[in-house]
């Protein structure tokens, strides 16, 4: 397929998850992404194991495919100036999530580089944002899940705080970075200069909390953990069957009528505590107890078949091995294998005219592409 960013070069001054996710998305879309790493060990995520896959932690490998890696000693003035020239002469985009103050110390900040190349698009990914008393504070995904309120609404009441399993703050920030970068590319294509794009883990956390924020501002009630429920709908949660868990999403009155009939209780929709979604939300404990009392009597597959027959949205709660072996996962083809069959990794959740961007290049070994920088330097002096 014709990859839309095939003529774009990205420099990733990134580590851990957020900036590497942004770099990988851009690489999947065809950009040449050059990951700049510390020669003393590279991206910290290379060592976040076990488990390890072919020389690096599985976490690193999962978010760094289709990239190049160069190792640059930022404390060496000659190497640093070579890197600056490489960016100014070759790059369209810089993505960075280095520790606050480092890019300024090394002259790799937006102001310095864009003074030499106004067309450069420069994306800062910080922990807490570009202003305020915490703008220079470092941060990782679980810290921002805590600070941004996600942990306060995740898990079950009365239990210790729970982090959302996937790194949704880091990954979400990576997605916002790409949205901003693509918007800046469109603006530049229309005759404008480049620009500075800013996003942060904190702002990403608040964006995930938008519905909880609205409910709080509307009601004045501070939300707490709700397990698998949604605060504005009922019944809408996981229920235990005799051999596993089933998630049921009866998100409107019509679906509730179908659910009640399938569970053998067609009278529920006439009950004044259950007749509307608003009343079911107000009386969710009674509603949930009534549904749970029926669901526990039969196995998971029975309820999946029974509810599907009346078009009530439902799903088994699957473990990862079940997900990966399911025929639907095979059908969508998002788990892709490398050409040398060393890796199976999740690809981009996008298709263009029915085709997903390919797994073109294995995640890079540290410094495996240093010749890109060296050859560029040699050409300048030849």
Cα–Cα dist 240/295, whole Å: 7
SS3 337: strand
Q: Nearest-CA neighbor of 231 among 245, 239, 241, 221?
A: 221
Q: How far apart are CA 265 and CA 186, in angstroms?
A: 56
Q: Percent helix, strand and coil across the chain, each rounded to 5? A: 40, 15, 45
| Long-range contact set of residues 253-260: C-beta below 8 Å, sequence gap at least 24 | 253/277, 255/312, 255/313, 256/280, 258/310, 258/311, 258/312, 259/235, 259/291, 259/307, 259/310, 259/312
C-alpha 37/C-alpha 60 separation (Å) is 13
Q: Which of 73, 170, 193, 271 is catalytic?
A: 170
Q: According to DSSP H, which parts of 136-219 are helical?
A: 141-147, 168-189, 201-208, 210-219
CB-facing half-sphere around the CA of 268: CA atoms within 13 A: 29
Give dist(CA 257, CA 236) in Å, integer.
14
Q: Based on the residue annotation, tell me whether 170 is a catalytic residue of this protein.
A: yes
How far, CA to CA in Å, does 338 sit from each of 304, 309, 342, 362? 35, 40, 6, 7
Alpha-carbon distance of 302 to 289, in angstroms, equals 19
Residue 263 CA to residue 290 CA, distance in Å, equals 10
Known catalytic residues are 170
């Amino acid at each position: 397929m014709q990859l839309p960013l095939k003529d774009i070069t990205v420099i990733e001054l990134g580590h851990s998850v957020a900036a590497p996710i942004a770099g990988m998305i851009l690489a999947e879309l065809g950009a040449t992404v050059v990951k700049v790493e510390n020669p003393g060990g590279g991206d910290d995520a290379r060592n976040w194991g076990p488990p390890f896959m072919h020389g690096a932690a599985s976490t690193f490998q999962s978010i760094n495919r289709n990239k190049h890696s160069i190792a640059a000693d930022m404390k060496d003035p000659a190497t640093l100036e070579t890197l600056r020239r490489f960016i100014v002469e070759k790059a369209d985009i810089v993505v960075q999530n280095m520790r606050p103050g480092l890019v300024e110390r090394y002259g790799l900040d937006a102001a310095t580089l864009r003074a030499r190349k106004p067309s450069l698009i420069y994306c800062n990914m910080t922990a807490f944002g570009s202003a305020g008393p915490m703008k220079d504070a470092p941060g990782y995904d679980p810290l921002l899940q805590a600070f941004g309120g996600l942990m306060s609404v995740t898990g079950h009441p009365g239990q210790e705080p729970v982090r959302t399993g996937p790194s949704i703050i880091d990954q979400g920030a990576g997605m916002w970075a790409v949205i901003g970068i693509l918007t800046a590319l469109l603006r530049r294509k229309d005759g404008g200069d480049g620009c500075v794009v800013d996003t942060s883990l904190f702002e990403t956390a608040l964006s995930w909390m938008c519905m909880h924020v609205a409910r709080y501002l509307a009601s004045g009630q501070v939300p707490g953990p709700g397990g698998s429920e949604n605060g504005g709908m009922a019944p809408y949660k996981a229920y235990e069957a005799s051999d596993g868990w089933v998630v049921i999403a009866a998100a409107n009155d019509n679906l509730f009528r179908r659910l009640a009939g399938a569970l053998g209780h067609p009278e529920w929709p006439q009950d004044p505590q259950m007749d509307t979604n608003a009343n079911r939300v107000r009386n969710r404990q009674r509603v949930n107890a009534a549904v749970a009392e029926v669901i526990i009597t039969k196995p998971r597959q029975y309820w999946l078949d029974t509810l599907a027959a009346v078009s009530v949205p439902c799903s088994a709660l699957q473990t990862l091995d079940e997900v990966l072996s399911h025929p639907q996962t095979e059908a969508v083809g998002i788990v892709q294998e490398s050409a040398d069959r060393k890796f199976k990794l999740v690809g981009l959740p996008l298709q263009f005219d029915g085709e997903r961007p390919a797994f073109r290049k294995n995640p890079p070994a540290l410094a495996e592409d240093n010749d890109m920088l060296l050859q560029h330097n040699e050409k300048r002096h030849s």
